[in-house]
Amino acid sequence: MLIVGAGPTGLSLAAQLTRFGTRFRIVDELPDRRHESRALAVQARSLEILDTIGLADALVARGRRAMRVRIHAGGGGALIPVADIGRPDTRFPFVLFVSQAETEAVLADWLARHGIEIERACRAEISAATDGEPVTCQLTHARGQSEAVAARYVVGCDGAHSTVRRAAALSFEGEAYPQRFMLADLEIDGPLEPDAANLFPGVGGGVLVLPLGAPRTWRLIAVVPGEPEPIPDAAEPTLAIEELQSFVDRVVGNRLRLRDPAWLTRFRLHHRQVDRYRRGRLFVAGDAAHIHSPAGGQGMNTGIQDAWNLGWKLGLVCRGQAPETLLDSYHDERWPVGHYLLRFTDRLFSVAARALGAGPIAAGVRNLALRAVVPALAASPSLRQRAFHRVSQLGIRYRRSPAVQEGMPHLAGGPQAGDRMPNLPVRDEGVATTIHELIGTPAFHVLWCATVNPSREVSSLARDRPIALHHLNAAVDSVTAATLERLGVARGASALYLVRPDGHIGYRCSGTNAGELARYLDEWLPRPTGTGMPIAPLRG
């Protein structure tokens, strides 16, 4: 298998494949990983994914979770806290502000510790795969040496200009936003709120300043409204700090002094998505499959979750433990997520862009709303939690996927098949733990929710399959009983949950009749028919 692209998406896919003992190569055209900050927000669901391989706490230690937003609007302002606005069913009830470079670094270090080499300065040319035949790939390395390789599958994690997407002949429909942007990582002197995102809405433009690390090191994004003539991205002239300073002075006044830039660039934003996430043996993920505005901090996180969804499926198929048809569910599950996020971020961005491009009269109304209305809305716990539910990606679900099933008898309450399994406290063999701790290994996990011991029938389901069985007994203590009620299992009742390797529920039913669960597993996780022994699940 070949992974093309070693950004956050490709590195996450490599980590998931490593956990399943799958052989692969990962290549990237760049001679070194990027050191610019780029994406800055890691959402709660991505942190849960990284937590399964022991990286979440290390990344949290490198970032900021106590972020606030300072709005500097028309001689007044407002300070809005956005930390710990989440909910109790996750270890990470916050948005983590950390450089994409740090996210890539912790993933690359993890891969290196597990013996995985990232082949850098390596260009991949992909031939369209013939049905049933491996994909022919031409790899050209730094010194010009070239090799032809045959890959069972190729996954394009190679960004907006993906070579894998072109080889798969996937359409990439969408368009560019009319606004232009200037971006810089640099030092700033001036009245900025520390540990906060500082927003300066002006007349005919706006400036957003985000902290990066050292006391005066910031990411500055300048929004330039308008309807520019369409020109190729490559034709954008180089950005000079003098031009950026002039624009900031016009929007903010002479309050911010820019100096010592580490990175200056111009860019435009697009919103596009492919028509298919898979064509034969070729797959796309992350920016190769969807690009959208950075509103809400969704892009990198969506790519990481694309990779986590696809990785366990490829791992099981390559090990002969799942049918090829399981791979089709990658498109069925992730394309609707990408489509939804494309519309969501487009609406957010369009509203913000119109507000920043306001004229003098409209700007006065906008500033009044930013000083009075927005803080009042942000103070509402219910609105904050609803916003966090959407932005954190904890609410992403695959209920319409052909690879998930609501069993019979139907379980009325609790998370449904296709939903993320919430992280709730339980006791396992007398030890206090959480559901996410129980399901952290790369396997399917059966949660036997009953006061009686698991039946022989359900225990036999794990034979020759990567399945772990956990007994959640409401009679053990009140903590487990309360958790089972959250899962829709009333006191004295029973249920079965099957949790997939990506933490989403594949199957559930009321009661403890394992017959229908067995039929579900026979379709999606059949026992091997060959003579080879299945590989035991690896610990993350």
Mean pLDDT of 126-144: 85
pLDDT at residue 529 in the model: 58
Alpha-carbon distances, residue 427 vs 430, 432, 440, 535 (angstroms) = 6, 4, 15, 29
Neighbours of 140 (CB within 10 A): 16
pLDDT at residue 212 in the model: 81
How far is it, in rounded angstroms, from Cα 96 to Cα 94?
6
Three-state SS at 231? coil
- The CATH number that domain 2-63+98-174+271-356 falls under is 3.50.50.60
Three-state SS at 233? helix
Mean pLDDT of 41-53: 96
Q: Where are the beta strands (DSSP E) in 309-424?
A: 405-406
Higher pLDDT, 217 or 316: 316
The pLDDT confidence band at residue 428, using thresholds 50, 70 and 90, is confident
pLDDT at residue 511 in the model: 95
Q: Give Rg (Cα) of the chain.
A: 25
* The pLDDT of residue 534 is above 70: no
Three-state SS at 467? strand
∠ Cα 156 100 296 (to 5°): 90
pLDDT at residue 267 in the model: 84
Please state which of the ranges 80-89, 101-110, 262-271, 412-421 shows the lowest mean pLDDT: 80-89
pLDDT at residue 59 in the model: 96
The pLDDT confidence band at residue 342, using thresholds 50, 70 and 90, is confident
Mean pLDDT of 49-63: 95
User: Which pair of tokens denotes residue 4?
Assistant: 């093309």
* The pLDDT of residue 65 is above 90: no
Residue type present at position 90: T
Closest CA to 518 of 459, 453, 447, 451: 459
* The pLDDT of residue 263 is above 90: no
Please state which of the ranges 108-112, 214-218, 230-234, 264-268 shows the lowest mean pLDDT: 230-234
User: Which pair of tokens denotes residue 24?
Assistant: 């692969």
The pLDDT confidence band at residue 297, using thresholds 50, 70 and 90, is confident
pLDDT at residue 355 in the model: 67
* The pLDDT of residue 144 is above 90: no
Question: Phi and psi at residue 151, in whole multiples of 5°?
Answer: -115, 135
Alpha-carbon distances, residue 297 vs 214, 216, 322, 348, 516 (angstroms) = 22, 23, 34, 11, 40
* The pLDDT of residue 103 is above 50: yes
Q: Read off the pLDDT of residues 172-185 as tens digits, 9 standing for 90 and up.
A: 998 888 778 899 99
If you ran DSSP here, which 8-state letter would residue 218 be given?
E
Most confident of 136-145, 294-303, 350-359: 136-145
Task: For the chain, give every domain's residue range.
Answer: 2-63+98-174+271-356, 66-92+178-268+359-396, 405-524
* The pLDDT of residue 359 is above 70: no
Higher pLDDT, 434 or 372: 434
Which CATH architecture best describes the domain 405-524? 3-Layer(aba) Sandwich (3.40)
How far is it, in rounded angstroms, from Cα 445 to Cα 309?
16
Contact (Cβ atoms closer than 8 angstroms) between residue 109 and residue 20: no
Q: Read off the pLDDT of residues 442-501 as tens digits, 9 standing for 90 and up.
A: 999 999 999 999 999 999 999 999 999 999 998 888 899 999 999 999 989 999 999 999
Residue type present at position 125: E
pLDDT at residue 69 in the model: 85
Q: Per this entry, what is the length of the chain?
A: 540
Confidence (pTM): 0.91
Higher pLDDT, 300 or 206: 300
pLDDT at residue 379 in the model: 72
CATH class, domain 66-92+178-268+359-396, is alpha beta
Q: Read off the pLDDT of residues 500-512 as tens digits, 9 standing for 90 and up.
A: 999 999 999 999 9
Please state which of the ranges 43-52, 141-150, 487-496 shows the lowest mean pLDDT: 141-150
Peptide bond preceding 409 in cis form (omega within 30 of 0): yes
What's the mean per-residue pLDDT of the chain? 88
User: Which pair of tokens denotes residue 130?
Assistant: 């013939």
Q: Read off the pLDDT of residues 74-85 as tens digits, 9 standing for 90 and up.
A: 666 787 776 656
Tell me the percentage of the chain whose pLDDT exceeds 70: 90
Pairing between β-strand 278-279 and β-strand 444-449 as defined by DSSP bridges: unpaired
Mean pLDDT of 210-226: 80
Three-state SS at 242? helix
Closest CA to 201 of 357, 80, 345, 346: 357
Pairing between β-strand 467-472 and β-strand 444-449 as defined by DSSP bridges: parallel
Residue with tokens 């296709």: 418
Closest CA to 45 of 506, 486, 389: 389
Tell me the percentage of the chain whose pLDDT exceeds 90: 60
Whether the domain at 66-92+178-268+359-396 and the domain at 405-524 fall into the same CATH topology: no
Mean pLDDT of 2-6: 97
Most confident of 105-114, 193-202, 370-379: 105-114
* The pLDDT of residue 349 is above 90: no
